[in-house]
Amino acid sequence: MASSKELSAFLKDVEKRAFKRAFYHVRNNESALDIVQDSMMRLAESYGDRPTGEFPMLFQRILSNAILDWFRRQKVQNAHFASLSDFESDAADGDFDILDSLSTAETAVAFENPETQSIRAQSLQRIETELMQLPTRQREAFLLRYWEDMDVAETAAAMGCSQGSVKTHCSRAIHSLLKSLSATGIRL
């Protein structure tokens, strides 16, 4: 049976190596410190009465489990917060009701069958390919106007040209895209 002095000496001896190992895995100082402290507490509380020869293996197993637990918590936490952030309110008063959001949300896309999802992905890939085939100025004008949702004046300022040039480039881009996408079977 180990004494409290032997346990303290073991923990002091293993502390730096344990921190380096935890930090190597989680890449965060505070989280690594928390993991090492939790591991040391678990060893002291649950296995402090064991012989000193068993401490290294027990501690390594406890530390490994604590690191795995940290990753599991991070995965769950990130999943919850990522999905909840989709429900943020744009209201000025900050009043938000998740039930209102859920009742008005469009769920059709989420429940599409795999064939429809595949067709949609292929169509988007074709559109992207055709966009890359456009001349540089036409592509730039098209993307600024319709993807970045800039108005004609903002697009002209960003491109360093006149508003008439922006309109011409956009018109040509749209006609080229309609022609090339129609040839591939995509109807807009």
- Structural domain boundaries of the chain? 4-85, 114-183
CA–CA distances in Å: residue 174 to residues 70, 112, 129, 186: 50, 29, 14, 14
Residues 136-145 have a mean pLDDT of 87
Q: How confident is the model at residue 105 (pLDDT cuts 50, 70, 90)?
A: very low
pLDDT of amino acid 93: 55
pLDDT in tens, 25-76: 888 999 999 999 999 999 999 998 899 999 999 999 999 999 999 988 888 7
Decide which of 68 and 124 is more confident. Answer: 68
Q: How confident is the model at residue 92 (pLDDT cuts 50, 70, 90)?
A: low
pLDDT of amino acid 122: 85
Residues 75-100 have a mean pLDDT of 58
Q: How confident is the model at residue 111 (pLDDT cuts 50, 70, 90)?
A: low
Residue 64's nearest CA partner among 52, 56, 54 is 56
What is the length of the chain?
A: 188
pLDDT of amino acid 114: 80
CA–CA distances in Å: residue 112 to residues 15, 106, 118, 125, 127: 52, 12, 10, 18, 20
DSSP assignment string, 75-138 = HHHHHHHHHHHTT----TT----HHHHHHHS--TTTT--HHHHHHHHHHHHHHHHHHHHS-HHH
Torsion of CA 65, 68, 74, 76, to 10 degrees: -90
- Local structure of residue 186 (DSSP, 8 states): -
Classify 114-183 by CATH class: mainly alpha
Report how far residue 51's alpha carbon sits from residue 34's, in angstroms, rounded to the nearest whole number. Answer: 26
pLDDT of amino acid 115: 81
What's the CATH fold of domain 4-85? Rna Polymerase Sigma Factor; Chain: A (1.10.1740)
Report how far residue 174's alpha carbon sits from residue 154's, in angstroms, rounded to the nearest whole number. Answer: 19
Q: How confident is the model at residue 150 (pLDDT cuts 50, 70, 90)?
A: confident
The yes-or-no verdict on residue 96 having pLDDT over 60 is no
Which two tokens mark 29? 């100082």
